[in-house]
Amino acid sequence: MSESAKQSGIQSHAGRGVESTGASRGDGRIVEASTFWALLCRRAERTPDRLMFVDGNDRRISFAEFRDRAERVAAGLFARGVRAGTRVSWQLPTRIDTVLLSVALSRLGAVQNPIIALYREREVGSLLRQTEASLYAVVSSWRNFSYRDMAEKLRADVARPFEILCVDEGLPDGDPTTLPPAPTDGDVVRWHYSTSGTTSAPKVVLHTDQSLIAGGTGLAEALRPEPESGEIGSIVFPYAHIGGPDYVVMALRYGLPVLLLDQFSIPDSLEIFRRVGVTMSGGSTAHYLMLLAEQRKHPEARILPALRQLSGGGAPMPPEVYSQVQEILGVEVCHGYGMTECPMITSGAMGDTAEQLANSEGAPILACEIAIEDAEGKRLPTGVDGEVHVRGPMVAKGYLDPELSRQSFRPDGFFKTGDRGHLRPDGHLKLTGRSKEMIIRKGENISPGEIEDVLMTHPRVAAVAVIGLPDATRGERVCAVVEMRPGMAALAFDELQALCKQAGLMTQKTPEQLEVVDALPRNPTMKILKHELVARFKNSRAGH
């Protein structure tokens, strides 16, 4: 990069992965394609008998077996009327059948809307209305919740009719010879992802196969999997997250076997990790902390002797966590930065120094540009904080709502992340805060506005501010600060919980802390000063 480019606050990484890993287009280990289906087919041709997925029950499937099964599922969906452009929502745990359904939809060119399993009536209903899904795929029940019952209730409430598919009762099956040719254009919008954003209703983000493949390619070239040496990865986070397909792209690109777990729990998941021989694990800072806590209980030996690398994102990783993982777990951490609108922006990489891995979000991934700008749109030099803007093939096409797109997606291709940070002299990104008020709890984006809307429905509440407070295990916890109407009794913690449950909020959005104040702090224009509330309650404890 030229010195003038460095000084302008733009960092473009057009080739760290390819040149520095020794992997290239001529490398026989790697396959490339512009659609998910083509990527799977090329991998199945290259290493047909190699393990693709294994689950906690030791169900195994090779790349060729997965391709053949996915094509039969696609034929079954085709027989049910699913075509190119058909909109399908699915809300499923991280299982082999979930990925089979998703890839089968890609084979048909359907537009799929992955929904995380934590969402409930309020969030799912909004997404079904926005995306106008004609099919909603669920499991009958999971973790003591009936998705079938929720689906039936939503079908009665949502104006546009949709079919319900219970995947655990059997995936659709059909004759692949009945299928039309697979789509070849990877630049068509075929993914509707949801993100809480700062609006009350979930925002729908428009992605293509190519944008997700670009994110996954950047991840792969940063982490450098070595399946020929016995490397085995793992997905222990919701596959419906934007990181799910990214990780599968890495698996397809390199031929990496992957363990899928629909939930991570200790000690059961650790036993599965040891049995399978997991060497790489994707997750989040909360995942790292769980492993650290367990390792501290067993100082006599490593709890996961085969594990060599952790990776993740969703929330910042404090430098002390990196140091503790290195010292106590004995593994490397390549933490990254991304969001639903741009699945991978930066990542720590194998080969980075310990200082870089601990104190930055990593360098921009393959083909990603970063510009740091002030409020007037002026490019800022290295080391100066501003808003992080990103551009590249991994950036979404926009939002389903054109007005939201105009606010965040610029005509020159840059996306305004709302996050603040600066580029270091070594080209790595350092985040220093968020312009938006998003709360990130265990890697989940939580919109304060949505929770505030619910709490304001209580007849005794005059005003409310929902804030994120630092939390050692969650990253941030959700705290509701409430101002009561004159003469009204203070809101009780159990009342708050009941109100959120009645509104259909997922449990993770229900505040874990309630503070009742005489008056919320406001500026002259009457805007609530949330930063003052964070400073006031940051050392308080969860509860009421």
Domain ranges of the chain: 3-423, 439-537
Question: Nearest to residue 150, comparing CAs of 165, 160, 163, 140?
Answer: 140
Q: Which residues are CB-contacts of 399 (< 8 A; sequence separation ≥ 6)?
A: 203, 204, 205, 206, 405, 408, 409
| Percent composition of the chain: helix, strand, coil (DSSP 3-state, to 5) | 35, 25, 40
The CA-atom distances, in angstroms, between 223 and each of 34, 92, 213, 337, 439 are 21, 27, 15, 14, 28
Burial of 483 (0-12, 13-18, 19+ CB in 10 A): middle
Which two tokens mark 106?
């890609």
Q: Are strands 368-373 and 429-434 parallel, antiparallel or unpaired?
A: unpaired
Burial of 539 (0-12, 13-18, 19+ CB in 10 A): exposed
Q: Which residues are CB-contacts of 448 (< 8 A; sequence separation ≥ 6)?
A: 198, 437, 438, 439, 465, 466, 467, 468
Please count the CA atoms within 13 angstroms of the CA of 499 that sit on its side-chain side: 19
Which two tokens mark 331?
């593994």
Cα 115 from Cα 120, distance rounded (Å) = 10
Q: What is the pLDDT along the chain (544 residues), one digit of tens a residue?
A: 444 444 445 555 444 443 333 344 446 689 999 999 999 999 999 999 999 999 999 999 999 999 999 999 999 999 999 999 999 999 999 999 999 999 999 999 999 999 999 899 999 999 999 999 999 999 999 999 999 999 999 999 998 999 999 999 999 999 999 999 999 999 999 999 998 644 457 899 999 999 999 999 999 999 999 999 999 999 999 999 999 999 999 999 999 999 999 999 999 999 999 999 999 999 888 889 889 989 999 999 999 999 999 999 877 788 888 999 999 999 999 999 999 999 999 999 999 999 999 999 999 999 999 999 998 999 999 999 899 999 999 999 999 999 999 999 999 999 999 988 999 999 999 988 766 677 888 888 787 878 988 998 999 998 899 999 999 888 999 999 999 988 999 999 999 999 999 999 999 999 999 999 999 998 655 678 888 999 999 999 877 6
The CA-atom distances, in angstroms, between 17 and each of 122, 231, 351 are 41, 18, 11
The CA-atom distances, in angstroms, between 453 and each of 130, 462, 521 are 19, 12, 19
Cα 247 from Cα 239, distance rounded (Å) = 9
* Amino acid occupying residue 202: P
Q: For the chain, what is the radius of gyration of the CA atoms?
A: 23
Number of H helices, E strands in the chain: 17, 28
Q: Which residues are CB-contacts of 271 (< 8 A; sequence separation ≥ 6)?
A: none
3-423 CATH pick, 1.10.3720.10, 3.20.140.10, 3.10.28.10, 3.40.50.12780: 3.40.50.12780
Instruction: Find the Cα–Cα–Cα–Cα dihedral 94, 99, 102, 105, rounded to 10°.
Output: -150
Q: Are strands 280-283 and 258-260 parallel, antiparallel or unpaired?
A: unpaired
- DSSP letters spanning 115-171: --TT--HHHHHHHHHHHT-SEEEE-SEETTEEHHHHHHHHHHHSSS--EEEEGGG--
439-537 CATH pick, 3.30.300.30, 3.40.50.1980, 3.40.50.300, 3.30.479.30: 3.30.300.30
Instruction: Find the Cα–Cα–Cα–Cα dihedral 248, 251, 254, 255, rounded to 10°.
Output: -130
pLDDT value at residue 435: 66
pLDDT value at residue 11: 58
Q: Which residues are CB-contacts of 21 (< 8 A; sequence separation ≥ 6)?
A: 221, 224, 350
pTM: 0.83
Cα 404 from Cα 417, distance rounded (Å) = 13
Which two tokens mark 429?
């990104």
Element (H, E) at 537: helix 530-537
Number of neighbours of residue 449 by Cβ within 10 angstroms: 15
Question: Nearest to residue 460, comparing CAs of 434, 476, 436, 482?
Answer: 482
Q: Are strands 233-235 and 203-208 parallel, antiparallel or unpaired?
A: unpaired
Cα 503 from Cα 50, distance rounded (Å) = 47
